[in-house]
Amino acid sequence: MIVYLPGILIPFLFGDRGGAVSYKFLMIWSWTFSQLNRIIYKIEGREHIVKGKAYIYVSNHTSYLDLPGIAMTIPTQFRPLAKKELKKIPVFGWIAQAACVIVDRSSNESRRKSMDHLKEILVKGISILIFPEGTQNRTASRLQPFYDGAFRIAIETGQPILPMVVLNAGKLMPPNSFHIEPGTIKILIGSEIQTNGLDLKETSALKEKVYHAMDQLILNNS
């Protein structure tokens, strides 16, 4: 990470065009990280991604190993919504500060500003990534309940949602652990879910639809 750090951080200083370069380096780092830790990421469903189209990617979240795989899955630059605690991780915290939209989950004002920032990013044609569960899943359930944020943004901007799920990452690196086991992680990309013409009153229905799509992806591949 330290070797690739200049290539990740410096281009961000030049705005969104520089961000595209930064994400190339982030993809290279993710691949290197996976090789050094003997982790194989198997990605299925890439045909559902239309290159050059901005999406609201939503994914489950079970481990810190989710993000390297997602970085190798999404073909263009994107902006994840990340909790402020990530900034405390040595070295990676600098990358999170530059590449992510940081939110303080304990502050309503911070949540509002982060949502507004994500909308601005979508207007520029850049995809965003949100973990609708809000935090890593430490339960026995396939998915935790979803928050509304991703689905309100989707309705307000009319941007399509692209659901994805990450399988087995939590077993190789459990939440709150920095011990990594070698193994295989599978990333599955579902079909695009349109949001054009929806009203905010339909937020719950959209959230349920995406939850069901992601739950089925997990269930069908467990």
| Sole residue written with tokens 């579902």 | 190
pLDDT digits (tens, 9 = 90+) for 66-76: 999 999 999 99
Angle of CA points 33, 138, 210, to nearest 5°:
85
Angle between helices 16-36 and 66-73 (to 10 degrees): 120
Given this model, what pLDDT does residue 32 score?
95
| Sole residue written with tokens 């991703």 | 150
Band (pLDDT 50/70/90 cuts) for residue 104 is confident
Band (pLDDT 50/70/90 cuts) for residue 159 is very high
For residue 191, count other CB atoms closer than 10 A to its CB: 14
Domain assignment of residue 67, given as a range: 40-220
Average pLDDT estimate for 153-182: 93
Burial 37-73 (b: 16+ CB within 10 A, else e): eebebeeebeeebeeeebbbbbbbbbbbbbbbbbbbb
Residue 85: CATH number of its domain: 3.40.1130.10
Is residue 17 assigned to a domain?
no
Band (pLDDT 50/70/90 cuts) for residue 85 is confident
Rounded-to-integer distance, Cα 153 and Cα 151, Å: 5
Collapsing DSSP states into helix, strand and coil, what is residue 28? helix
Given this model, what pLDDT does residue 98 score?
80
Given this model, what pLDDT does residue 86 score?
78
Is residue 29 assigned to a domain?
no
Is residue 11 assigned to a domain?
no
Band (pLDDT 50/70/90 cuts) for residue 96 is confident
Is residue 77 assigned to a domain?
yes
Is residue 18 assigned to a domain?
no
Average pLDDT estimate for 136-153: 93
Given this model, what pLDDT does residue 69 score?
96
Is residue 114 assigned to a domain?
yes
The pTM of this model reads 0.92
Given this model, what pLDDT does residue 88 score?
80
pLDDT digits (tens, 9 = 90+) for 13-70: 888 878 889 999 999 999 999 999 999 999 999 999 998 899 999 999 999 999 999 9
Average pLDDT estimate for 163-184: 93
Q: How many CA atoms lie within 13 A of 103 on its CB side?
A: 23
Given this model, what pLDDT does residue 106 score?
74
Band (pLDDT 50/70/90 cuts) for residue 105 is confident
Residue 222 has pLDDT above 80, yes or no: no
Total domains in the fold of the chain:
1
Is residue 30 assigned to a domain?
no
Is residue 25 assigned to a domain?
no
The dihedral built from the CA positions of residue 25, 34, 141 and 189, taken in this order, carries a sign that is positive
